[in-house]
Structure 1
C-alpha cells in the first residue's frame, strides 16, 4: 500500500478501533473463564462499565441456578433474567451507587464454604461502588473523586487513595464473602493490568498503606476534608493485606486486556497491507506530552523511515492523565489527539485516531476523535485556534466543530485507551 486517501484512512482507523472493542466483548471472553459448578449456591456480583454485559454472558452460559446483582454506568444496562442490573453514576459517584454497594454486601452475607461468589469487575467500578468507611460521607467521596480527576495523578495513584477510604474496595468485598470461595473475572482498563487497580480491587489483597495514600495526596497538593485525612492518618483505612486468611483460596482471572485489543487492531492493519507496531499497552503521562512524543515518532517514520518504514501503523494503549487548567469540554484521548495534531503541523500522509474503548472520553458521551493531514487547516478556516483549544482543555469542542468526533454509544466493555497513528507513505 503506497497511497491512502483521507476517507480510506478514516475508515481503516475506525475498523481497527472497532476490532479492539470487539476483542474485549464479554460474550467472547467470559464463558471460557467460568468456574466449575459449586456444591452450594452461585452468587453473581459485580461492578463496572462492562459488568452488565458480563452478567448477561454468564446467564447465557451457566446451566445451573444462580442469583446476583451488579451495578453499571447509566445507559450501560442490558436485559438479564436472573441477575439484577442497577445503574449508577460515573466518574463521580452518586446515591444509586452507594445503595448498590450496600446491597451487594448484603447479598454475600451468610454464605458457606460450599458456595461460590462470581465477581464481575471492569473499569469504572471505583465510582460505581462508593461505599465509604465510617466517618466519611458520600459527599466526601464525591469531592475526593473530583479532586483526584483534576489532579493529574495516575490511575494507580488515584485508586490507592480510593482503596483506603472505602468499606468495599481493597479486598474488603472478598473478605465479606468469607468463607465462600470468590472467583473474580476482570476486564482490565489499567496500565500493567494490576488487579488491585481495576475498580480499586474490591476482591484483591492490597499491600499499599494509608501512608502511601497520604503521600499521593501531598504530592499533588489535593485538598480534602479533614475527616477524610483523619481516616488515613489514624490507619482506620487500611485495606486487606496479602496472606489474609479471609481471602485464602480465592481466584483472580484476567479475561480481557488492552494488549489483546491492540493485537486485534494489528490484525486488521495486516489485512490491509500495513505493518502494525505496538509501542506499549500501558503508556501513561500527561496526554498532551504523550501526543507530542507520538507525533515525533510518526514524523520520523514518515520522513526518515525510522524506526519503522511506512506504510505502517503505530498502536498504543494505557491511560494518560489531564491536569485540568481550562474550562473546556475535554477528555484524555482528545487532549492527546489535539496535541498530536499540533505537533504534526499538517504532515502529509499521517492520520490518527484516539478513543476510549468504553465509548466515553472524559465526561462526554463521545469516544474520541480522528485527525487527518488537513486538520489544522480546516480548524483555522473555521476560526478555531488549536493551541487555544488545547490550553482550555477543549478537545471535544475542537473536534466536534470539525465533525471529527467519534461516537460509539455504550460499547459494554472497557480496556482503556486506544491510539493509532497511520503513516500511509514515507517521503523517501
Structure 2
C-alpha cells in the first residue's frame, strides 16, 4: 500500500505543479502589452486617430521593466518617428543590448531597484532628445514598474550617490511603494511631473501605463515623471490578471477563492494568512485554488540573499512543518516581472515536507529566515521559479492549490 500511495502522491503533486505554473503564467500573459493592446486601442478610437495623424510625428519614450514589449506593441499599431527604450539590465535581447539600437529606437539599460550611473546617464540622454520636440511632435510615454530607479536625475544640491544611499535605506525598511516613491520624488529632478516642466509648453504628451501600483495611482507609478500634466491612461493592472487566473482555474476544475487584489501586508502576515487558508481549505474535499494579488512588504533584517516572495514561501514552509494531511498542496509566491528582489528568481514554490528535506541537507530554515537568506535554501530545494524577464510588471501573484481528496 505505501508505494502505491507514494506514487499517487507524486502524481498529484506533479499535477499541482503543472497547474500552479499555468495559473501564474495566465496572470502574467493577461498583463502583457500584446494581450492588453488590441482591446485597449479598440476601446479608444479617438486616440487611434491622434496617433495616426500624418501631420504629427510620434516620439515614444518607453520606461520600465515592460518598456521593450510596450514599445514594440505600440509600433504595431502606430507609426513611430523615433523612440527611446530605457529598461532594466538583461531585459533587452542580447543583440539589441550590444547594438544599443533597434530600427528607430535607441535602447538602453540601467539598474533596478537601486539607480546607478546609467540611470542618470541615459535619463540625460533621453531628456536631451525630448527637449528638442516641438508642436510638430507628440510625446508618448509608455510607463511600467521599475521606472523610478531606471530614470533618474538628482535635484539641485544632490548627487547620484545621495540618491543611491537614499534608495538603499528606503528599501531595507520594508516600506510600501507609495512611501518609497514619495521620498524619491523629493530628491529627483524628473519625478512627480518635473519631466514635463522641462518640455516646450506646446508639446502634447500622452502617458500609457501598465500599473504595478495598488490602486493605479499615477502619482506613484514610476514616481510619476509625466503626471500631472499629460493625458494619462492605465492599460492593465493586477485586477485584470487575477480575473484571468480565476477563469483559468475554474476551467480546469478548481473551486476558486480570491482573497484580495490589493494586498499590501508583510511577508510574515501573508504567510500566516495562507496557512490559515490551507487549514480551512482542508475541510473541503474538492480541488481548491486560493488566489491573492498585491505588493508584499518585506524588511531586510540580515545580510542574506532573497526577495519578498521567496521569503513568503520560506515562511509558509516553516509554518507548515509538522502539518499532515491526506492530500497534496502547493503554495507559490512570485513577482510578475520575473525578478524577486535582487535575485534572478521570480519567486518560490513550496509544498508538504519541504522543511524536513531542508534539514536533511543541513539547512536551518529559521536561521536562514532571520538572515533574510531565502534564495540559497530554496534554490537547493529546487523550490524557485525562474522565468526571466516577462515583459510586464503588475506586482505579486500568490497561489495556494489543494488537490482533490481521494475517498
Give the structure-2-normalised TM-score. Answer: 0.88
Of 27-36 and 132-141, more deviation after overlay is shown by: 27-36
Give the Cα–Cα distance (whole angstroms) in 2 for the partners of residues 153 and 404 of structure 1.
27
| 1:305-320 correspondence runs (5 A) | 305=284, 310-320=286-296
Runs (5+) with no aligned partner, structure 2: 1-7, 42-46, 97-101
Indicate if the aligned counterparts of 1:175 and 1:203 stay in contact, CA closer than 8 A: no
SS state at 1:400 partner = helix
| Partner of residue 66, structure 1 | 81
Q: Give the direction of change, closer, same or farther, for the CA distance of 1:174–1:29 in structure 2 (3 Å limit).
A: farther
State the match for 1:282 in structure 2.
262
Partner Cα separation in structure 2 for residue 402 and residue 369 of structure 1? 10
**Take 2:239 and 2:276, find their aligned partners in 1: how far apart are those partners?**
23
> In the TM superposition, what is the alpha-carbon distance from 1:46 to its structure 2 partner?
2.5
Q: Mind listing any 5+ residue stretches in structure 1 that lack a counterpart?
A: 206-246
Instruction: Tell me if the contact between 2:59 and 2:80 (Cα under 8 Å) persists in the aligned partners.
Output: no
**Residues 93-127 of structure 1, C-alpha deviations (whole Å, 9 max, x = no match):** 11111011112222222433453111011000000
Q: What residue in structure 2 maps to residue 259 of structure 1?
A: 239
Check conservation: 1:67, 1:83, Cα contact below 8 A: yes
Other-structure match for 2:301: 325
**1:233 matched residue in structure 2:** none
Asked if 1:190 is matched to 2:169, the reply is no
After superposition, where does 1:136-175 map in structure 2 within 5 Å? 136-175=158-197
> What CA distance in whole angstroms lies between the structure 2 residues aligned with 1:294 and 1:175?
46
2:277 matched residue in structure 1 = 297
Alpha carbons 1:52, 1:70 under 8 Å: kept = yes
- The CA deviation at 1:377 is 2.2
SS at match of 2:191: coil
Counterparts of 1:412 and 1:351, CA distance in 2: 26
Q: 1:347, 1:191 → 2: CA distance?
A: 36
Corresponding residue for 2:383?
404
Counterpart position of 1:180 = 203
Whether contact under 8 Å (1:184, 1:252) holds in the other structure is yes
267-276 or 125-134, which deviates more: 267-276
Task: Give the whole-Å Cα distance in 2 for the aligned partners of 1:310 and 1:391.
Answer: 36
1:421 counterpart (392, 400, 404): 400
What corresponds to 1:209 in structure 2? none
Conserved in 2, the CA contact under 8 Å of 1:295 and 1:341? Answer: no
Q: Which position in structure 2 is the counterpart of 1:50? A: 66
- Relative to structure 1, the CA distance from residue 65 to residue 283 in structure 2 (aligned partners, 3 Å threshold; closer, same or farther) is closer
Specify the alignment match of 2:57 in structure 1.
41
Structure 1-normalised TM-score?
0.84
CA RMSD of aligned residues (A): 2.0
How far apart are 1:59 and its partner, in Å? 2.0
Q: 1:108 touches 1:176 (CA, 8 Å); kept in 2?
A: no
Q: CA separation of 1:100/1:426 partners in 2, compared to 1, >3 Å: closer, same or farther?
A: same
Using the alignment, how far apart are the partners of 2:406 and 2:303 within structure 1? Answer: 39
Matched-pair contact (CA < 8 Å) for 2:16–2:329: no
